[in-house]
Structure 1
């Protein structure tokens, strides 16, 4: 990745952490849970996926130890955040390139925090992940819950609040149709029209 893109991705991730923490905590009354996301202002998935580096289908192998990481946001106090990595065994690369059979997926929060842990991917779960690559070769979900999709009985489910990805949080979608939709959007990704 060139330096300009690395700086942009770092700034975007940092900004999304701040915005998500301050304004993106949404309460889903139907399913009685909160969800982190940043509301999209994009007109299409092709625009929303502009910074997506990798989309994979795979299985969760294990969860690593929680550690602290600098959020990248300058603050007067402690600006570190808890990160809990998971190892994902890739069964299919839907977009992008990944030479290894596994990736390290970074989850926001500590395994000691019950609310965060309840949202973590569980061992043996089959998932589709829409990802942004970090400088050290690991991956974040793009826009929190928007990039995390659990595969169950030929369907996908997510806590996303994105209207471009899902009509309502928690609703299931046909797996094959969803894969077709996100592959097409990633393949044709583009910068926002007004940039």
Structure 2
């Protein structure tokens, strides 16, 4: 193999690595919000304030009831069809930690069906004490902020979640002290800002 071919291979490899790095920085996921799509963005935010730039509401509440699963047209044709399953839950708002709300109850939308044991296992259940980090929809209902990142179960003065966020989890621990966690997330929400490398959506 001559020097020219080696040079082309090295340049191609460098380009592939660069493109891969750019793609890894930001991943967008379209989520249906009842009338349109909300976009969950996973980025290389360096602070929780940057991570929370699109959070609308943080509450502590009690799960009142779980509604019937229904199918919602997403408006986008895909190979898997153009509908998604949503299971609503009614949440009694016990305390607003961030944001504004004039209701004592909200509708919290969950992806998936109660008939699927894996999906159902991740859903909030009646009487559970929860702390929810939320995005508001155009209909007034709420999605969990960035899927598992927004769902925290409260028990014995601690919170626990399936979140994979290094910024939300404390030293990789899935369980954290409730009051310390509340201070951390409310401070981040009150100081939220869009990172300079965050895309416009």
TM bucket, shorter chain: 0.7 to 0.9
Please point out which of 149, 154, 179 is paired with 2:182.
Answer: 179
Count of residue correspondences: 164
Please point out which of 174, 186, 192 is paired with 2:195.
Answer: 192
The SS at the match of 1:192 is coil
Please point out which of 21, 41, 44 is paired with 1:41.
Answer: 44
Task: Tell whether 2:87 aligns with 1:84.
Answer: yes
- Could you tell me which residue of structure 2 aligns to residue 128 of structure 1? 131
- Could you tell me which residue of structure 2 aligns to residue 71 of structure 1? 74
- 8 Å Cα contact 1:160/1:169 also seen in 2: no
- Could you tell me which residue of structure 2 aligns to residue 119 of structure 1? 122
Segments of 5+ residues of structure 1 without an aligned counterpart are: 1-13, 19-36
- Could you tell me which residue of structure 1 aligns to residue 5 of structure 2? none
Matched ranges for 1:135-146 at <5 A: 135-146=138-149
Segments of 5+ residues of structure 2 without an aligned counterpart are: 1-27, 33-39
- Could you tell me which residue of structure 1 aligns to residue 151 of structure 2? 148
Q: CA deviation at 1:111?
A: 0.9
- 8 Å Cα contact 1:110/1:117 also seen in 2: yes
The SS at the match of 2:193 is coil
- 8 Å Cα contact 1:45/1:164 also seen in 2: yes
In 2 relative to 1, CA 96–81 (structure 1 residues): closer, same or farther, beyond 3 Å?
same
In 2 relative to 1, CA 80–178 (structure 1 residues): closer, same or farther, beyond 3 Å?
same
Q: How high is the TM-score relative to the length of structure 1?
A: 0.78
Q: CA deviation at 1:70?
A: 2.6
| Cα distance in 2, alignment partners of residues 169 and 61 from structure 1 | 31
Q: CA deviation at 1:178?
A: 0.3
> CA RMSD for the aligned pairs?
2.1
Structure with greater Cα Rg: 2
- 8 Å Cα contact 2:29/2:41 also seen in 1: no
